[in-house]
Structure 1
Amino acid sequence: MDISNRTVFIAGGTSGIGRELARRFAAAGSTVVVGGRRTDLLDELAAEGFATVPVDVTDQDGVDRARDTVLAGHPGLDTIVTMSGVMLLEDLRDPAHFDTARKTVDTNLLGTIRVIDAFTPHLIGRGTGTIVTVTSGIGFLPFPPMPTYAATKAGVHAYSEALRAQLDGTGVEVCELVPPAVATTGEQARLNPKALDLDAFATEVMDLLGSDPTPREVLVKGVLTHRWAERDGTYDALVAQRSQALAMLPSRR
């Protein structure tokens, strides 16, 4: 895609990867609208010159209001990025984990679907556009302390594949961004020394998004081990290795 001349809405772009991608799209020459729940972060982005809109992807009416606001101000909108998500620990031995599972599904999977549904008629009506879904390397290589997170990201991957097939011929393309662990703060870098540097990750992502044709999956080098673990015969060993992190659950200490 031509990243220099887009009108982009990033749902869940107030922090982390989403915020950095907003800045990269803007620096490339695109117009960016950022949506999110935290008004303080929206205010910070507005001070940087971004258009902003409050949105909670777990609230259907709120998503519809955000869509109407975005399209009223930016009728040429052609790109949707579904960044909203939560990463929460769960102990599956404790039935109380279900509330966490429900919140994760409602935000990561259903929230993604709500945003896509809200904007798909507009994009089809234009006859062109791009939907960028955001999954995770964990959707292909589970991280056992976050089981429902892994399940939702695997679900968004499958949904993206089906969405691409259903939108074939409409002019709307579907691109799946698959991040590995990315250090979006200094604290995260300290806790996970293997996490990718945010700046380097964003540079690689924008280079891939700018390819022609737009890749079906945006896979930075750091996520290839996750994405192709089953194909490469490393899956069982890597899951066993990652299962050592179960010690971080309070009940396992």
Structure 2
Amino acid sequence: MKLTGNTVFITGGTSGIGRALAESLHKRGNKVIVAGRRKALLDEIAQANPGIDTVELDVGDRTQIERVAKQLIEQHPALNVVINNAGIMPFDDAGGALDDAQAIRLVNTNLLGPVRVSAAFVEHLKKQPESYIINNSSVLAYVPLAATALYSATKAAIHSYTMSQRFALRDTSVRVLEIAPPWVDTDLVHKSGDPRAMPLDAFVAETIQRLETATTEVVVEMAQPLRNNAGPNEHAFVEQFNQALAENPIPVA
């Protein structure tokens, strides 16, 4: 995709990967609109980046999505890129009791959120000469982390949905891309400087570079072994991956 001259809407853009992508695209000459739940953080990003617009949005709320989409289409008729980045990553126990309220919030945010956001904008995007839906999944779509079993499952679902969405829109002006990050050092879980995590600036720089020529997926080099593991022999690697993290867990505080 061309990396300048777009009008970009990004969800979950007040911190971590979302904010870094928003700021990078803003610096490249795109009109960027950032959505997030926390007004204080929206105000902070707008003040730090004159020209970025912001809007309050909880992607777990269908009514809010519909209202915000209508508002932004009216305010920004050239809007041609939607980045579904918002997500949450709570720990859970697939071998124990279910926190039902947490599970519902997770599925509403990570799975139904991107589906609903895409649906709210897609007819508008079809009217643009060149437009994009970009879904942020995770390498955990391919190598699930047992400690975040339902999160991993929602990302696997987003990968699957993205492939169907790409096919469904094949005869339109809308291209569908997927970004599958590795463990990036952000506050999604706990920003810790862990050497196993990819630095945020390095991740965004490589992702932006790969976006320019991407036709399906954007997978940074560090993430490719996990992306390529899926298949009939994947089980041993998944077992080894989870055993290694069980012995040396991701810091959470």
Q: TM-score, normalised by structure 1?
A: 0.91
TM-superposed CA distance for 1:39, in Å, is: 0.5
Q: The residue matched to 2:172 in structure 1 has which SS?
A: coil
Partner residue in 2 for 1:196: 198
Inter-partner Cα distance in structure 1 for 2:23 and 2:146? 33
Q: How does 1:115-154 map to 2 (within 5 A)?
A: 115-154=117-156
Instruction: State the match for 1:222 in structure 2.
Output: 222
What amino acid maps onto 1:78 in structure 2? N
Instruction: Work out the number of aligned pairs and report it.
Output: 246
What is the DSSP-based 3-state SS (H/G/I as helix, E as strand, rest coil) of the residue aligned with 1:9? strand
> What is the root-mean-square deviation in Å for CA atoms of aligned residues?
2.0
Q: Which residue of 2 aligns with 1:167?
A: 169
Structure number with the higher helix fraction is 1
Aligned to 1:3: 3
In the alignment, the residues of structure 2 paired with residue 61 and residue 100 of structure 1 have an alpha-carbon distance, to the nearest angstrom, of: 20
Q: Which residue pairs with 1:53 in the alignment? A: 55
Measured after TM superposition, the shift of residue 233 of structure 1 is: 4.7
Match of 2:211 in 1: 209
Tell me, which stretches of 5 or more residues in structure 2 are unaligned? none
Counterpart in the other structure of 1:236: 236
Once residues 102 and 95 of structure 1 are traced to their aligned partners in structure 2, the CA distance between those partners, rounded to angstroms, is: 14
| Alpha-carbon shift at residue 45 of structure 1 (Å) | 1.4
1:13 is matched with 13
Which of 103, 107, 119 is the equivalent residue of 2:109?
A: 107
Query: Which residue number in structure 1 is paired with residue 27 of structure 2?
Result: 27
Choose from 180, 183, 197 the match for 1:181: 183
Q: Which amino acid aligns with 2:43?
A: D
TM-score when normalising by structure 2 = 0.91
Whole-angstrom distance in 2 between the partners of 1:127 and 1:103: 36
State the Cα deviation string for residues 141-174 of structure 1 (Å, max 9, x = none): 0011000001000000000000000001111000
Unaligned runs of 5+ residues in structure 1 are none
Distance 1:117 1:246 in 2: 38
**Kept after mapping to 2: 8 A contact 1:143/1:239:** no
Distance (Å, rounded) in 2 between the aligned partners of 1:181 and 1:235: 20
* SS of 1:3 mapped into structure 2: coil
Kindly, what percent of the aligned residue pairs are identical? Answer: 34
- The answer as to whether partners of 2:229 and 2:237 remain within 8 angstroms in 1 is no
Aligned partner of 1:150: which letter? S
3-state secondary structure, aligned to 1:146: helix
Instruction: Tell me if structure 2 keeps the 8 A contact 1:127–1:170.
Output: no
The one-letter amino acid of 2:145's match is: F
Deviation, 1:97, is: 2.7
- The amino acid across from 2:152 in the alignment is A
Whether contact under 8 Å (1:17, 1:184) holds in the other structure is yes
Q: Give how far 1:188 is off.
A: 2.2
Structure 1 39/141 Cα, relative in aligned 2: closer, same or farther at 3 Å?
same
How far apart are residue 231 of structure 1 and its match?
Answer: 4.8
User: What is the identity, as a one-letter code, of the residue corresponding to 1:32?
Assistant: V
Q: Which amino acid aligns with 1:134?
A: N
* Preserved contact between residue 180 and residue 222 of structure 1 (Cα < 8 Å): yes
Cα distance in 2 for partners of 1:88, 1:53 equals 25
C-alpha contact (below 8 Å) 1:144/1:246 kept by paired residues: no
Q: Once the 2 structures are TM-superposed, how far is the Cα of residue 93 of structure 1 from its aligned partner?
A: 3.3
